Structure 1
C-alpha cells in the first residue's frame, strides 16, 4: 500500500503552515531520516523528515503553497517495490486531495451532463451572485463603478496584479452590462463601504510594491494586536548606572578569553532580570483568567531581530546559569533564529522577556508584553550623562530601563520592587554572580 505523507504538526499550536520548499522530487528514493521538505510555521522554517523508506510517487502540494492544513496529504510515497505510477493514482482517489478531489467529480459527472444537460447552468449561475468578489478591484473602484453603473468585468485593471483601481473607472462609461443584470449592481454599493477605509489607504500613484506577508509576520501582527487590546499595560522606568557592570564585564572577558567566550552587556542583563524575578516572585507570573500562574524558575525570552521578523528564543533557568553559559547559549540560539531553524520549544514559553535596543542608540522605549507572560523589560542605550556619584555630581554611564507589566496580574508596587531589584543587581553586579 502506498503511504500518504501528510502535513505534520510541528508545534502543539500549529494548525496550518506554508510548504516552503520540496527537497525531493517525484521518482526520488528516500530512506528513514532523509529530509523531504522545508515547512514554514508561524515562527520558523523547519525540516520535515521521512519516517519510512520508499519512492516519492507524487507531490500533491507544490512548494510555496500557503495555508496547508495539518493532516492534509502533501505527497504520496510508493513502498515495497510498488510501481510509482500506480501508487500515485490509487491514494489520490482514497484521500481525495484538494486538487484531485475537485477534478474527479467532474469526470464522473460528464456522462450525466451529456444525457441530462440540466446541471450545466449551475456553475454558470454562481458567478452572477459573486461576480464582484471574483474581480480584483479596490473597494473604492467598486464603489465608483457601482455609482456610475459600470460593469467591472469590462474594465482592464492597471494596478498590481491587474487590480482595478480608482483611475481605471473614473473615466470609464457605463456599458450594456448594467442593463443586462440590474440586480447585481446594488450589491457592491452595500457591501463595499465597510472595508473601503483600510484598502483605500493603499490607493496611490506613488511607485510602490506589495509584499506578501509571511506566516511569521501575520502571527506577530495578530499577537501584538491582541496584547495591546486585551492586556492593560503599566510602564515603570528608572535609570541604571552601568560603570561597575562594564568594569566587571571587561574583567570576565579577560578571564574567559582562553575559552573563546566574550560576554555582551545583554548577557549580564539577562542574568540580572532572571535573578530579580526570583527575588520578586510576584512579577514572575502569568494571568490566566480566573487563576494566576506563579513560576519558580526564570525562563527569559530574549528578543532577536531576524529578516522575517522578531522572535524570542528562551534562556531556560537563567537565574542558575553562569553568565558564560548564558552568553554561549544566546549566541547559538540567535544564530539559528536568524536562519529560521529554532525548534518550537526553544521559542515557545518563557516567564518574562527582555528587549534591548541600545545598540541602535535608542534611549527609551516601551515594549509590548509577550502573552501569556506578565512582563517585559525594555533596555535603552548606555550613554555618558551627568549623574550623582557618591553625593557629588559627576559623569557616569547610564541607561534607562522600562518594565511593561500586565496590570491584571502585577500591581504597580510589585513592578516597582522588580525594577529596584534589577537596578541593584546591575549597579552591584557581583551579587548576580553569587
Structure 2
C-alpha cells in the first residue's frame, strides 16, 4: 500500500520546511534508515530517513520548495502501484499543502528526522556531497558551496572534480555597493518570533549590579581541584538562576494566551551564537543537578550547537533563558524574551573597578544583570524579588554546593 510522505514537525516552533536536496530519485528503492532528503528547518538542516522499505514512486515537492507541516512531499510504495488517488487531492496538497492532523499523524509514521551528522563539522555540506568528495579524494575545504547559506552540494563537488568553479551562492551582489543576502529559515524564524515578542509582550527591565569577588574565588577553588573540569561564570549563573527560580516560581512561567503556566521543572536555555544566527540549547532540571553536571552539559550542548549536532529535544522546552555577552566585553544589555517564556536574563562582563564600601574606596569586581520580563505574567515587585535573590546567591556562591 502506497504511503504519503509528509513534512514532519522537527521542532516545536517549526511551521514549514524547505527541501534542500533529494538524495533519492523517483524509481529508487528505499531501505529503512536510509537518508532520502535534506530539509532546512527553522533550527537546523536535518536529514530525513525512511522508516519503511519501498520504491520512491513520486517526488511531489521539488528541491528548494517550502512545504508546510503535513504537506505532501513524496509517495512511497510498491513498483507499478497506482497512486492516482493519492495525487487526486486539492492543488495545495499536490504542491505540499496542509492535510488533516489525523492524516498527518497516521501517515508520517514512515519518516523520522535526525540531526545531520557532518563528517567535517566545520564545513556545511550535504551527505551526498561528502560521499562523492570522499570517493573522489576531493578536499571540501577547497570548494565554494552554492547551496543555501553557502552549503556544499553534489553539483559543487562534481564541478570541482571536472576542474570547473562552482556557481555563485545565493548572495546577490549589486553595482551600488551592497550585497543582498536571502534569509535562511533560521533567520526568518528569529525575525518573526522576536518581532512578535517585542510587539506583543509588554517588556519591562530591571538591572542589578552584583559583587562577584566571592564568586571569582569560589570558581577558582572549584577549578583547582580538577584540572579536567573548568567551571565557567555562566555555569555558576545558570545554576544560581535555577535556585532563584525555585524560590520565585512566578518567574519560571509562560504566557499561553488564555492562561499563565507555572512550571514545576526548571529547564534553562543558554543562548549560543552560531553562524546562521542564535540557538538556545536547553539544560533540563538544572535545580536537580550539581554545578559540575551543569558545567559538563552546558559545554557539550554549546559545542554540538555550533556543530549543528543537536537533537530537536535538546533545543526545545526551556522555561527560562540566560543570554551572556560578558565574554565580548559587553558591560550591560537588554534581551528580547524568548516566547512564550515570561523572562530572560541578560548578563554582562565582570568589571574590575573602584567601589565604595563602608566609606572606603577599594578595588572590586562587579557584574551587571538585566532581567527582561513579560508584564502579562510577572509584576515589577515579583521580578525585583527574584533579582534580589539571584544577586544574594551569586554574592554567596557557596550555597550552590549545598
Q: If the length of structure 1 is used for normalisation, what is the TM-score?
A: 0.68
How far residue 354 of structure 1 moved from its aligned partner, in angstroms, is 0.6
| Uncovered stretches (5+) of structure 1, i.e. residues with no partner | 103-203
Give the aligned partner of residue 364 of structure 1: 332
- What is aligned with 2:43? 43
Is the contact made by 1:237 and 1:402 (CA closer than 8 Å) also made in structure 2?
yes
How far the C-alpha of 1:244 sits from its partner, in A, is: 1.5
Cα–Cα, structure 1 residues 331 and 412, in superposed 2: closer, same or farther, change >3 Å?
same
- Describe the SS at the equivalent of 1:282: coil
Larger radius of gyration: 1
Greater helix fraction, Structure 1 or Structure 2: 1
Q: Aligned equivalents of 2:346 and 2:15: distance in 1? A: 32
Instruction: State the alpha-carbon separation in 2 of the partners of residues 28 and 402 from structure 1.
Output: 56
Match of 1:404 in 2: 372
Q: Which residue of 2 aligns with 1:322?
A: 290
Q: In structure 2, how many angstroms separate the alpha carbons of the residues matched to 1:304 and 1:263? A: 17
CA contact (8 A) 1:73 1:95 kept: no
Give the secondary structure class of the aligned counterpart of 1:4. strand
Report matched runs for 1:27-176 at 5 Å.
27-65=27-65, 67-79=66-78, 82=79, 86-87=80-81, 90-91=82-83, 94-96=86-88
Cα gap change, 1:100/1:291 in structure 2, threshold over 3 Å: closer, same or farther? closer
Does the CA-based 8 Å contact 1:46-1:340 persist in structure 2?
no
Q: Which moved more, 1:91-100 or 1:405-414?
A: 91-100
Which residue of the partner structure matches residue 363 of structure 2?
A: 395
Q: Report what 1:272 is aligned to.
A: 240
- 2:10 match: secondary structure: coil
| Structure 2 equivalent of residue 343 of structure 1 | 311
Distance 1:384 1:100, change over 3 A: closer
Q: Is the 8 A contact 1:45 1:341 kept in 2?
A: no
What is the CA-CA distance between 1:379 and the residue it aligns to?
A: 0.5
Partner of 2:351: 383
1:220 Cα deviation from its structure 2 partner = 0.9
**Does structure 1 retain, via aligned residues, the 8 Å contact 2:254–2:342?**
yes
What is the Cα deviation at residue 309 of structure 1?
1.1
Q: 1:427 aligns with which of 371, 395, 402?
A: 395
Deviations 1:14-46 (A, max 9, x none): 432111233334454432122222222212222
2:200 is aligned with 1:230: yes
Deviations 1:304-329 (A, max 9, x none): 11111111111111112111111121
The structure with more strand, counted as a fraction of residues: 2
Moved more, 42-51 or 232-241: 42-51
Contact residue 22 and residue 38 of structure 2 kept, 8 A = yes
CA distance in 2, matches of 1:229, 1:70: 26
| 1:417 and 2:385 matched | yes
Cα distance, 1:393 vs structure 2: 1.8
Aligned to 1:261: 229
Contact 1:4 1:91 in 2 (8 A): no
8 A contact 2:40–2:185 mirrored in 1: yes
* Equivalent position SS for 1:383: strand
Q: Secondary structure at the match of 1:297?
A: coil
- Structure 1 residues 260-282: Cα deviation after superposition (integer angstroms, max 9, x where no partner): 33221111110011111112223
Q: CA deviation at 1:283?
A: 2.0
- In the other structure, the counterpart of 2:250 is 282
Task: Give secondary structure in 1 for the equivalent of 2:260.
Answer: strand
* Residue 249 of structure 1: aligned partner: 219
Q: 1:27 to 1:318 in 2, by over 3 A?
A: same
Matched, 1:218 2:188: yes
Q: CA deviation at 1:428?
A: 1.0
Q: Distance in 1 between matches of 2:76 and 2:230?
A: 48
